Amino acid sequence: MDKVTIMSRKKFLTWFPPVTKNNLVAIRIGDQAPIRDTASKRYADTLSLAFYDEWDYADQIDRNTPAGSNRLTEKDKQVIDDFIDKYADKYFVVHCEQGISRSAAVGYYILKKLGYTAELNQKKASSLYQPNIEVYGILIDKPYTQETAAALTLEIKSPTTVTNQKNKVTCKNEKQN
């Protein structure tokens, strides 16, 4: 099983994981927070988030909108980071309505944060996903603006290079730092 499995809500509701419940957590994304249902019982823990699948430049968003406006926020990012840190040794299943953009942005972020470069590159090469650039930008602390749009687009589409020590492959005779 991949470290991160990305899917649609419909598939999530009927999918039975190939690993035990104790080794698997889920992040559920919808326009409104998903209710706990029987599918949630197949996971050690679930995180439910509610935000729209919108792609607006951060500097053009009216931040005076009322609470509950359903945009990914810095507070949501912290909740996601805490969940990832808490369950870094588990497998993740991430779903949104279609399993293409919001869940892909969060899934890519999990893989990048935990250093799973090979799996991240495999998902990028598959062309199955179109990560929401606004969501991904917030998660990597690079808000989506006219100035960052090209760099974010390139990062989402291009192979990631290994910069994390976890991904360093050493031979038996090579001295490790």
Options 3.40.920.10, 3.30.420.40, 3.90.190.10, 3.30.70.260; which CATH number does 4-167 get? 3.90.190.10
Q: What is the pTM of this model?
A: 0.85
Assign 151 a pLDDT band (cuts: 50, 70, 90): very high
Q: What is the pLDDT of residue 124?
A: 96
User: Can you give the pLDDT at residue 177?
Assistant: 33
Given the DSSP bridges, would you call strands 4-8 and 24-30 parallel, antiparallel or unpaired? unpaired
CA neighbor of 29 nearest in space, from 1, 63, 6, 4: 6
CA distances from 21 to 91, 126, 165 (A): 10, 27, 29
Vertex 46: Cα angle to 43 and 47 (nearest 5): 165
129/175: higher pLDDT: 129
Nearest Cα residue to 128 out of 4, 7, 1: 7
pLDDT by residue (tens digit) across 73-126?
899 999 999 999 999 999 999 999 999 999 999 999 999 999 999 999 999 999
Task: Answer with the residue of higher pLDDT: 72 or 26.
Answer: 26
Strands of the sheet containing 45-50, edge to edge, are: 4-8, 91-96, 24-30, 45-50
Among 26-30, 133-137, 167-171, which stretch is predicted with the lowest mean pLDDT? 167-171
Among candidate residues 61, 166, 77, 74, the one with its CA nearest the CA of residue 115: 166
The span from the first CA to the last CA of the chain, in angstroms, equals 30
- Mean pLDDT on 6-10: 96
* pLDDT tens per residue across span 30-72: 988 766 688 889 999 999 998 888 766 666 665 555 454 578 8
